[in-house]
Amino acid sequence: MASATYNHRKYQPVEPVTGFTRTWPDRQVTEAPIWASVDLRDGNQALLEPMNVAQKQRLWHLLVKLGIKEIEVGFPSASQPDYDFTRWLIEENQIPDDVSIQVLVQAREELIAKTFEALKGVNKAVVHVYNSTSRIQRERVFGMGRDEIKDIAVRGARWVKEYAEKYPETDWTFQYSPESFTSTEVDYAVEVCDAVMDVWQPTPEKRCILNLPTTVEVGPPNHFADQVEYFCQHLNRRDSAIISVHTHNDRGGAVASAELALMAGADRVEGTLLGNGERTGNMDIVTLAINLYSQGVDPQLDLSNPDEIIQTCTECTGLPIHPRHPWIGELVYTAFSGSHQDAIRKSLKQQQSDEPWQVAYLPIDPTDLGRDYQAVIRVNSQSGKGGMTFLLERDFGISIPRWLQLELAPIVQQTSEQQGGELDSQIIHDLLIQHFVQDKAPVSMEGYRIERAGDNETLAASIRVEGLEQSIEGKGKGAMAAFINAWQARTGLDIHVVDYAEHAMGEGSDVAAAAYVQLNVAGQRVSGMAVDADTVSASLKAVVSGLNRSGTATQTVSVDQAQQA
């Protein structure tokens, strides 16, 4: 039974954004945004157990290595470990020339003073000041009106400017966030940000950052994009501001919100690796960056080794990654469904290295991310022919024809069901050999001689039947037809070749050959397979496999039949 409070009527939809020209749906993202990581601040403050110094240092090195140029390293006025970490970065010369550290601070003078103290001696830095602006925060948390809340922002901006002037050796960038922007009336958010810019007097050459957060994601991504585009169109000095977005994932739309916000005019995106952060997390930089990559856009981040990212993040945060995490989860290049496997196998075979990627069910080439095709296909009881065919081809150079795929598939499926899980290529190979290669008993072929006369061949074969050596001879068009004719004469059975296939197992002159035959033996279809050093021998042995499998191999012609013959 539903709980007593389960009632959707408690909730209201977001109000549509009006009074602007919506252009973003027709835009495309063609270049990477400015990336800003908040792993060491927003991510860290959301951990049950915040990172220790060593973990923060390790994550810092990874962020730098990936190519992130703006990194929020903490809230030094509110946390001693964050203060100490900021000092370590500066005093130990850990900040590369092209990287800016960023620190967060509330719009309060004593905290701003301490923040600048923490940054003393840094070459360049972003000072990020914020206050909450939404109606709920104004009315229910602070009990203040619009002007009072705007004043908090303006005062904070003034203090930031004043303290920055005390440290002229540093190249400062100022950042302001109207916290809870998504729940703030958008015209009021513009009013507050205009007021902050009036204090900072940024220019197109020395821009400030205005960071628009979905502090709590309360609406769909298209609504956020509308808010961002409205904001960009109404801000007094748009050309003097870098518009940044900072999205959270309450509705599962953090990445989509950021992506649509880029279409709507945002220049910069704040997020974390793998999406760690308050509640459902921050926007996942890895996902958004690979989304862009998959559209042919250079993300300006090196994400070619996601395993390193996963290992570092999970070890630093203590949080596991979902096996189906977009782009880099353990299972994302694995297809269990037979039709998917078949489509992947066919398209991989046709994919040329010099053409755009066109592989069904694989939106990007897994090898780009250090994953290989090993993980692409697994075979379980849900799989059809595609998966096992792919694995046999890939690992053994065996390309079984379609009719044999149809016969092998249920055997594979049954085995998987019995074993209760996934089968590897070795097991599938063993099943194939065990069921279809039966060229040793009760009949085996020990040797043969062929004489050619025009179109016809005469084949003399020495066979062993239940241990006894015997000879048979027959004529026909080709060795196989001659052999079957000899066999028909011996057994009196009606035998036809329904289908036949052969191939070299690999490249070069000394590779083995595989042969497959489907026979009709006295009205019953039966398949056989053999592998041998030469093609003719493989094909004759494949026939022997088929005959042995038919259960008729030891039958010999009756006296009556022999007399009639």
Which residue ranges make up the site for ligand KIV (CB under 6 A)? Answer: 42, 104, 130, 177, 179, 211, 213, 215, 246, 248
Cα distances (Å, whole numbers) of residue 479 to 469, 473, 526? 20, 11, 20
Q: How far apart are CA 531 and CA 507, in angstroms?
A: 15
Pairing of strands 70-74, 34-37: parallel
| 217 interacts with, out of ligand KIV, Zn ion, none, CB within 5 to 8 A per kind | none
Are 41 and 73 in contact by the 8 Å Cβ rule? The answer is yes
| 249 interacts with, out of Zn ion, ligand KIV, none, CB within 5 to 8 A per kind | none
**Residue from 511, 54, 75 nearest 278 by CA:** 75
284 lies in the binding site for Zn ion (CB under 5 A):
no
Are 208 and 240 in contact by the 8 Å Cβ rule? The answer is yes
Closer to ligand KIV by CB, 63 or 495: give it. 63
| Residues 6+ positions from 412 with CB-CB distance below 8 Å | 379, 383, 388, 423, 428, 431
Query: Tokens 């923490």 sit at which residue?
Result: 118
Q: Which span (40-48, 183-191, 453-461, 538-546) binds Zn ion, by CB under 5 A?
A: 40-48
Closer to Zn ion by CB, 42 or 532: give it. 42
Q: How far apart are CA 287 and CA 43, in angstroms?
A: 16
| Residues 6+ positions from 561 with CB-CB distance below 8 Å | 492
Tell me how far, at minimum, the Cβ of 147 lies from Zn ion, in Å.
26
Closer to ligand KIV by CB, 109 or 278: give it. 278
Tell me how far, at minimum, the Cβ of 246 lies from ligand KIV, in Å.
5
Closer to ligand KIV by CB, 177 or 537: give it. 177
Tell me how far, at minimum, the Cβ of 257 lies from Zn ion, in Å.
13
At what angle are helices 186-200 and 221-234 packed, to 10 degrees? 40
Closer to Zn ion by CB, 42 or 82: give it. 42
Q: Which span (4-12, 38-46, 411-419, 481-489) binds Zn ion, by CB under 5 A?
A: 38-46
Tell me how far, at minimum, the Cβ of 269 lies from ligand KIV, in Å.
12
Tell me how far, at minimum, the Cβ of 364 lies from Zn ion, in Å.
29
For the chain, the first-to-last Cα distance in angstroms comes to: 82
| 77 interacts with, out of ligand KIV, Zn ion, none, CB within 5 to 8 A per kind | none
Closer to ligand KIV by CB, 177 or 491: give it. 177
Q: How far apart are CA 303 and CA 322, in angstroms?
A: 18
Tell me how far, at minimum, the Cβ of 286 lies from Zn ion, in Å.
17
CB atoms inside a 10 Å sphere around CB 126 = 21
Closer to ligand KIV by CB, 181 or 390: give it. 181
Closer to Zn ion by CB, 42 or 267: give it. 42
42 lies in the binding site for Zn ion (CB under 5 A):
yes
Query: Tokens 């042919």 sit at which residue?
Result: 296
| 177 interacts with, out of ligand KIV, Zn ion, none, CB within 5 to 8 A per kind | ligand KIV
Tell me how far, at minimum, the Cβ of 278 lies from Zn ion, in Å.
6
CB atoms inside a 10 Å sphere around CB 148 = 11
Specify the amino acid at residue 351: Q
Tell me how far, at minimum, the Cβ of 231 lies from ligand KIV, in Å.
15
39 lies in the binding site for Zn ion (CB under 5 A):
no
Q: How far apart are CA 53 and CA 437, in angstroms?
A: 62
| 44 interacts with, out of Zn ion, ligand KIV, none, CB within 5 to 8 A per kind | none
Tell me how far, at minimum, the Cβ of 102 lies from Zn ion, in Å.
13
Of all residues in the shown chain, the one whose CB is closest to Zn ion is 42
Q: How far apart are CA 112 and CA 115, in angstroms?
A: 5
Q: How many residues bind Zn ion (CB under 5 A)?
A: 1
Give strand pairing partners of 101.
Answer: 71, 125
Cα distances (Å, whole numbers) of residue 132 to 95, 175, 244? 31, 14, 17
| Residues 6+ positions from 339 with CB-CB distance below 8 Å | 384, 386
Q: How far apart are CA 253 and CA 329, in angstroms?
A: 18
Kindly write down the DSSP assignment for every residue of 463-528, as one continuous string. EEETTEEEEEEEEESSHHHHHHHHHHHHH---EEEEEEEEEESSSSTT--EEEEEEEEETTEEEEE
Tell me how far, at minimum, the Cβ of 271 lies from Zn ion, in Å.
9
Tell me how far, at minimum, the Cβ of 211 lies from ligand KIV, in Å.
6
| 342 interacts with, out of ligand KIV, Zn ion, none, CB within 5 to 8 A per kind | none
Residues 312-371 that bind Zn ion (CB under 5 A): none
| 179 interacts with, out of Zn ion, ligand KIV, none, CB within 5 to 8 A per kind | ligand KIV
Closer to ligand KIV by CB, 129 or 376: give it. 129
Tell me how far, at minimum, the Cβ of 388 lies from ligand KIV, in Å.
49
Closer to ligand KIV by CB, 209 or 398: give it. 209
Closer to ligand KIV by CB, 215 or 527: give it. 215
Closer to ligand KIV by CB, 127 or 412: give it. 127
Q: How far apart are CA 437 and CA 545, in angstroms?
A: 6
Binding site for Zn ion (CB under 5 A): 42
